[in-house]
Amino acid sequence: MITREEIHELAQFEDDGACALSFYFQPSTPRNKAHKEEAILIKDLAREALRQLEEKNQSRLKSEAARADLDRIVRVSQELRGNGAHAKAVFACAAKRFWREYDLPAHLSGAQLVVDRHFHLKPLTQLLGSLPSLGIVLLDRHRARLFELRVGELTERMDFFHPLPHRGRSDGFRGYDAGHAERSVADEVRQHFKTVADFVKDALEKGMFDNWMLGCLDIHWPQFAAQLHSYASQKLLGRFTAEVAHVSRDEIRSHAEQLFAESQKKRCDEAVRETLSQARSSARGVTGLRRVLRSLESGEVQTLLVGQSYHAQAVECAGCGHLDAHLVSFCPACGRETREVVDVAEAILPRVIRQDIELFYVDGDSEFDKVGNIAALLRFRSDQNNNSSGNVRPITQAPPNPSVSRRVGRVGRYRGLASG
């Protein structure tokens, strides 16, 4: 699986000859009869990519290197066929002798092969943004298990076991000790819940996972909730009913993915409403490509919202990298010549990843549609910060609040994933 550092490396990559290859492949299941069609499709994609590469690259040597890369991509896809367990992404540039290959959760929409100056990162950001690192705690009165769901992989991390105090058959002389034994059990259970609650808080603070979920019987929830630190409560995405000893891994995964999808949808809706409302009052929100590009360049953006099928042209300065929504021939910032950017939503991704900006792809929201399908929620507004005139409302930079910086959906939040 891919690490945060590796995503940053891909985001930085640029090839002036526009020979960067990005390949995404979602294998079909063994019984699927589409295998042959799949093989034909990949070969067609490779042929088209080669044509584009040869068009851009006059050097025969370089063309041969690119052809070797494409052959290798076709071979990789053939080896993967029939393995529905995971998908694959390959990023290659023969001219720069660059080749990276990653396994991904099998949730890609299909095969893609793109040739460009930068790597095509939208499928990756969509996939990883929708799969942050989640802690899943299963709990009962004397046991707790901690799982981690990261980039589609479920791993058990801890198993806490606190044996309840032994209770003899007798409650003592005429039941004299019975009350005492119950109190002692209740104390043990409370202590156990507290240990687990403390552990969850520590794990969140150390960044072991971004958010968490709880699986337990309803009767345990109020008592456990009473032990939770407020920060851990904020990070709790949801709760499902489960018995620690009997729940299967598939059940855990399916509960977690469903709860996560719901919370992600809710968070995205909230971000859209907040951004539009802030934009209406000219505060911490901007809409439209021109204004969003400017905010990205000045480092103001906290959350970026892009329509699922948003597509717009822009130009990019070959010198300073400035992106402009006006299709000007010369860069307004440094005067160098500009070049066309076919898909600006793709061109902004390296910047989004580098700046660790929270990103949501918005689907089917009519209000968002009306403002141009691209918007951003800002951490601050640089134009107003510099303005000392009287009636501007003070907008200060948001403090480094962990509950903000660790929100779900953030493209750059893939620290410490196992590589390989």
Residues at the site binding Zn ion, with contacts judged by CB under 5 A? 317, 319-320, 322, 331, 333-334, 336
Cβ 76 to Zn ion, closest distance in Å?
A: 38
CB of 330 to Zn ion, least distance (A): 8
Nearest-approach distance from CB 299 to Zn ion, in angstroms: 17
In the complex, the smallest distance separating the C-beta of residue 323 from Zn ion, rounded to whole angstroms, is: 10
Minimum CB distance to Zn ion smaller for 180 or for 336: 336
Shortest spacing between CB 297 and Zn ion, in angstroms:
11
Q: Least distance (Å) from Zn ion to the CB of residue 98?
A: 25
CA angle 248, 84, 135 (to 5 degrees): 40
Using the structure block, give the residue that is written with the tokens 């076991």: 161
Measured CA to CA, the distance from residue 82 to residue 100 in angstroms comes to 22
CB 320 within 8 A of CB 331: yes
Minimum separation from the CB atom of position 95 to Zn ion (A): 24
CB of 292 to Zn ion, least distance (A): 18
Angle between helices 60-80 and 35-56 (to 10 degrees): 160
Nearest to Zn ion of 331, 376 (CB atom): 331
Rounded to the nearest 5 degrees, what angle is found at the Cα of 410, between the Cα atoms of 254 and 16? Answer: 120
419 CB-contact burial (10 Å; exposed 0-12 / middle 13-18 / buried 19+): exposed
State which residue, 164 or 320, has the beta carbon closest to Zn ion. Answer: 320
Which residue's CB is nearer to Zn ion, number 172 or number 332? 332
Question: 207 vs 319, which CB is nearer to Zn ion?
Answer: 319
Give the C-alpha separation, 263 to 260, whole Å: 5
For Zn ion, the closer of residues 238 and 321 by Cβ is 321
- Identity of the residue, 334 or 398, whose beta carbon is nearer to Zn ion in the bound complex: 334
Nearer Cβ to Zn ion (9/297) = 297
Q: In what order do the strands lie in the sheet with 338-341?
A: 323-324, 314-317, 338-341
Half-sphere exposure of 123 (CA within 13 A, CB side): 24
CB 129 within 8 A of CB 411: yes
Buried b (16+ CB within 10 A) or exposed e, 370-397: ebbbbbbbbbbbbebeeeeeeeeeebee
